[in-house]
Amino acid sequence: MRDRTRSYTTDLPRIGLPFLVNMRRRLTELSPGMQISCTTESGVLYTSRHADGYAMTINGVTRVIRTTITQAGYGIRQWYACPHCVKRVAKLYIGRKDIACRECWKLHYKSQSGDKLDRMRMSIRRQRYAIWGNNDLTNNLFNRPNLFPKPKGMRWETFNRRLARLMQYELAYWRAFSPVVERITGALKRKVSLI
């Protein structure tokens, strides 16, 4: 069963490394003490320079955001340090009264396509078990149901109708299954380009 108390990364607005680059450039152009603001779903986020890095304020709560540097080829790359666990991160999540990394917020990555496939797999199993019961043959989704025997006592008409419906559903499942690999690859590519 899916745990409904989970929170997902998509639940909170986030700032990534492009935001950091942009923010640094804009703050360098401003005189000290000036702040920049941006509107997020959690409220207006104000950022200013601070002796130790940056100060970010959301709904009256201020966090000092330090940054950390790693070598990247001939240049350097700047990261956020989470104000709570101090770990180096590429994204910070903005809550209504706090700013922290994914782990500190206990956020999970959500795969919507994965959820959909989970539901489809559950439905296939339900339909299979209703006709043939739960056994080694029906448990393995790679076994095609047109090879399963008609259960004793079931009318051919009923069996054929239910089998046809199941076959159609399983075909839709395998069609939905293959693009997921492409989608995951796409997400990885986007992630790399953000860094």
Residues contacting residue 54 through CB under 8 Å, at least 6 positions apart? 23, 27, 47, 48, 64, 65, 66, 67
Nearest approach, Cβ of 89 to Zn ion (angstroms)?
7
**In the complex with Zn ion, which residue's Cβ is closer, 93 or 145?**
93
**In the complex with Zn ion, which residue's Cβ is closer, 85 or 176?**
85
Q: If you count DSSP H runs as helices and E runs as strands, how many of each does the chain have, helices first?
A: 5, 12
Q: Which of 33, 59, 34, 31 is nearest to 45 (CA)?
A: 59
**In the complex with Zn ion, which residue's Cβ is closer, 50 or 88?**
88
The sign of the dihedral angle between the CA atoms of 121, 126, 129, 134 is positive
Nearest approach, Cβ of 134 to Zn ion (angstroms)?
43
Give the interface with Zn ion as residue ranges (CB under 5 A): 82, 84-85, 100-101, 104
What is d(CA 63, CA 58) in angstroms, rounded to the nearest whole number? 9
Nearest approach, Cβ of 111 to Zn ion (angstroms)?
23
Is 88 exposed, middle or buried (CB count within 10 Å of its CB: 0-12, 13-18, 19+)?
middle
CB-nearest residue to Zn ion = 82
Copy the structure tokens of residue 19. 């935001």
Nearest approach, Cβ of 104 to Zn ion (angstroms)?
3
Nearest approach, Cβ of 131 to Zn ion (angstroms)?
50
**In the complex with Zn ion, which residue's Cβ is closer, 89 or 124?**
89
**In the complex with Zn ion, which residue's Cβ is closer, 84 or 125?**
84
